[in-house]
Amino acid sequence: MVLIGVVIVIIGFIVRLNPLLVVTVAGLATGLLAKQPLYEIIEQFGSAFTTNRYMAIFIATLPVIGLLERYGLREQAEALVSKIKAATAGRIINVYLFIREIAAVCGMTSLGGHAQMVRPLVAPMAEGAAEAKYGKDLPADLRQNIRAHSAAADNIGLFFGEDVFIAIGAILLMKGFFDQNNIPADPLQMAMWAIPTAIAAFVVQSIRLILLDRKLDRRLGQSNSKHTATGKEE
């Protein structure tokens, strides 16, 4: 019965409930079935809150972002970028990718994120740029494609940029592993070797974003051309 928490997690994910709510209920059920005092269970949740940044995002960041979205944050972001004639979906995302990676290189890994930046700002701005350029609502598949590229830019910028920062956890973990196996390793050298990889990742993702713009142009540009030609014939 103590393993009932695993069953709760599986069922919760299958029916697509809020993951943090599912995990919380599973933890409470497991602790109570293990005959732990409720006080100790809540204490463990408190410890997780102070040590786990994802819980902090859920408790603090998401409600703030939700309120901002309710009062028009996404709409204002779309309206702002629609006034920039040179803006495209790929260019907007590429600018964010550059900022995200440079910030991670400097150790500012908290500057960005899916909840804080991608959902409320980056994705709406990219969608707004595409809608302003082609003058129409985006098809559902293209809208989801833009959102996926926005999320990927955040992941790539953070993942490859943070390894250049010498005090990041990944560098320290590798240093500790090498020390345990009596292998000489210099954290500064490991960080320096991460620079070519970070540059290559930025170039590759930039190319993918250029291809995204071309895909949008093929789909929506041709549609506009056909509509214009039909109007002239009439």
Q: Is residue 61 part of a domain?
A: no
Residue 113 has pLDDT above 60, yes or no: yes
> What percent of the chain is modeled with pLDDT above 70?
80
- Give the residue among 212, 200, 194, 65 at the shortest CA–CA distance from 133: 212
Q: Is residue 196 part of a domain?
A: yes
Global confidence as pTM = 0.67
Residues 220 and 133 in one domain: yes
Mean model confidence pLDDT for the chain: 81
Residues 149 and 195 in one domain: yes
Residues 119 and 220 in one domain: yes
Residues 46 and 121 in one domain: no
Say what the pLDDT of residue 229 is.
46
Which domain, by its residues, includes 46? 4-51
Per residue in 125-155, pLDDT tens?
898 888 888 877 889 999 999 999 999 999 9
Q: Is residue 91 part of a domain?
A: yes
Matching residue, tokens 């996926």: 148
Per residue in 32-64, pLDDT tens?
888 888 878 787 777 766 555 554 555 556 566
Spatial distance between the Cα atoms of 209 and 144, rounded to a whole number of angstroms: 14
Residues 96 and 161 in one domain: yes
**Straight-line distance from the first to the last Cα atom of the chain, in angstroms, rounded to the nearest whole number:** 72
Residues 89 and 187 in one domain: yes
Range of 30-39, 63-72, 106-115, 190-199 with top mean pLDDT: 190-199
Range of 15-19, 176-180, 210-214 with top mean pLDDT: 210-214
Residues 134 and 215 in one domain: yes
Spatial distance between the Cα atoms of 166 and 191, rounded to a whole number of angstroms: 6
